[in-house]
């Protein structure tokens, strides 16, 4: 289902296609009616952090509330809106995904949807029944393991995790670090070097390692970060973990390309709407606060210093939204958007953090209050300057394209 064909980035002005507008408006109502009333309870918990939506929801709310949100998601079609039609989804394009994601991230409370890494659609044969369909249904969860302690920004050149041939499959040895949601995942999509000479040029393969595999060890304590008291980042060890040939995802030697596809869409381009939702919420809150907060006989909204901060926030939001929509439209047309994803990722992290910084400053002491979502939003947006490829890495990629 292509809901983006009418989107023309060359036009002097544009509107979202009617179908996308309808989905956006529906999602906005769900956020206001269902998620916003739950936000205070969520912020008061120690689950208001970076992590998997379903795990966080179950950690805070009783089963009745979680089941209701899942039911709403499935009844409205939001649950599988990103799933291709051949796998039972609606097959909405990137633009629709981005618009919906922005609306959902207006609130701190996560919304349950099918969380399918795009590379899992490379599944063939019985992999579809064993892995892909259970993840689509929400019966299983998946995570992606590429990063290592000394191979963050240069995984192709520095990756040490190895997979060696053995009878009927492969033996994986090595350690991965900063693996999001590893502890709660049923399957881990692991990149390992299978040809040390070729590396990223045909020497890295993607494997599916199942939870409970012999030799697989996840450090339970996780990696403590300022994103929240509950860690969603883990160190994962592979000690002669046997992976059958049937658990190779895609072709042998093609794993690095698959990883780059995941990074381009999930860890770069789709971070922008997460930033936009939080930025828009912070601006709306700041506008309202500046009108009602009176100091020295005047509301803050009448002070030029505050007005200029609000304008800066508004400009960053509008500019980032335009960049993101344009990148999504190109992606929906089948174009290579790796460069656009780097640009969007870079600006989302930089502009997102400074927008939240403005919002917290405008709110003064209340900006630091944990009953408001601003500090949670700030931590998550500041993290965008590191997670998924640092700001500096994105600049290098953009410069490489400029200089060719």
User: CATH code at 348?
Assistant: 1.20.140.10
pLDDT at 359: 98
pLDDT at 91: 87
Q: Give a yes or no: residue 334 inside a domain.
A: yes
Domain termination site, one of 253, 280, 308: 253
Whole-structure pTM value: 0.93
Q: Give a yes or no: residue 248 inside a domain.
A: yes
- Per the structure block, which two tokens stand in for 38? 């739950």
Residues 332 and 384 in one domain: yes
The rounded distance, in Å, linking the Cα atoms of 270 and 115 is 13
Query: Residue 280: CB partners within 8 Å, gap ≥ 6?
Result: 102, 106, 317
Residues 105 and 157 in one domain: no
Residues 98 and 203 in one domain: no
Domain of 190? 142-253
- Per the structure block, which two tokens stand in for 148? 């290592």
The rounded distance, in Å, linking the Cα atoms of 176 and 156 is 14
Q: Which of 165, 230, 222, 225 is nearest to 193 (CA)?
A: 165
Number of domains in the chain: 3
Q: Give a yes or no: residue 275 inside a domain.
A: yes
Residues 222 and 291 in one domain: no
CATH of residue 156's domain is: 2.40.110.10
Chain centroid to Cα 179, Å, comes to 13
pLDDT at 1: 46
Query: Residue 309: CB partners within 8 Å, gap ≥ 6?
Result: 286, 358, 361, 362
DSSP state of 146: -
Per-residue pLDDT of the chain (404 residues; tens, 9 = 90+): 445 444 444 444 468 999 999 999 999 999 999 999 999 999 999 888 777 899 999 999 999 999 999 999 999 999 999 999 999 999 899 999 999 999 999 999 999 999 999 999 999 999 999 999 999 999 999 999 999 998 877 888 899 999 999 999 999 999 999 999 999 999 999 999 999 999 999 999 999 999 999 999 999 989 989 887 787 899 999 999 999 999 999 999 999 999 999 889 998 999 999 999 999 999 999 999 999 999 999 999 999 999 999 999 999 999 999 999 999 999 999 999 999 999 999 999 999 999 999 999 999 999 999 999 999 999 999 999 999 899 999 999 999 999 98
Give the CA distances from residue 77 to residues 88, 101, 104, 114, 231, in Å, rounded to whole numbers and listed in that order: 11, 14, 14, 10, 31
Q: Give a yes or no: residue 169 inside a domain.
A: yes
Residues 284 and 379 in one domain: yes
pLDDT at 402: 93
For 269-287, letters b (16+ CB in 10 Å) and e give: bbbbbbbbbbbbbbbebbb
């Amino acid at each position: 289902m292509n809901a983006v064909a009418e989107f023309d980035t060359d036009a002097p002005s544009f509107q979202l296609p009617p179908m996308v507008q309808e989905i956006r408006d529906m999602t906005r109502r769900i956020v206001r009616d269902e998620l916003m009333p739950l936000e205070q309870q969520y912020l008061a918990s120690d689950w208001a952090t970076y992590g998997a939506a379903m795990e966080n929801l179950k950690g805070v709310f009783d089963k009745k509330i979680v089941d209701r949100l899942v039911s709403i998601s499935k009844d409205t079609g939001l649950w599988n809106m990103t799933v291709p039609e051949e796998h039972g989804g609606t097959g909405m394009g990137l633009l629709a995904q981005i618009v919906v994601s922005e609306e959902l991230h207006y609130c701190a409370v996560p919304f349950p949807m099918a969380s399918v890494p795009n590379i899992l659609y490379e599944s063939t044969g019985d992999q579809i029944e064993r892995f892909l369909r259970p993840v689509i249904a929400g019966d299983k969860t998946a995570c992606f393991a590429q990063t290592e302690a000394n191979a963050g920004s240069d995984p192709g050149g520095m990756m040490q995790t190895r997979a060696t041939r053995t009878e009927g499959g492969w033996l994986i040895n090595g350690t991965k670090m900063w693996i999001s949601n590893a502890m709660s995942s049923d399957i881990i999509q692991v990149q390992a070097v299978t040809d040390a000479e070729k590396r990223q040029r045909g020497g890295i393969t993607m494997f599916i390692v199942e939870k409970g595999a012999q030799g697989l060890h996840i450090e339970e304590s996780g990696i403590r970060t300022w994103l929240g008291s509950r860690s969603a980042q883990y160190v994962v060890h592979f000690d002669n973990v046997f992976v059958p040939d049937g658990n190779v995802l895609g072709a042998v030697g093609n794993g690095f390309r698959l990883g780059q596809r995941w990074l381009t869409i999930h860890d770069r381009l789709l971070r922008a709407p997460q930033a936009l939702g939080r930025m828009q919420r912070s601006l709306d809150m700041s506008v309202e606060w500046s009108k009602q907060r009176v100091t020295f006989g005047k509301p803050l909204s009448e002070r030029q210093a505050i007005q200029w901060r609000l304008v800066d926030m508004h400009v960053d939001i509008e500019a980032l939204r335009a960049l993101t929509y344009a990148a999504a439209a190109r992606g929906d047309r089948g174009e290579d958007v790796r460069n656009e994803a780097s640009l969007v990722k870079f600006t989302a992290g930089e502009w997102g953090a400074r927008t939240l910084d403005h919002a917290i400053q405008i709110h003064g002491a209340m900006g630091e209050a944990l009953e408001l979502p601003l500090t949670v939003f700030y931590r998550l947006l500041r993290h965008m300057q590191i997670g998924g490829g640092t700001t500096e890495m994105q600049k290098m990629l953009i410069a490489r394209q400029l200089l060719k």
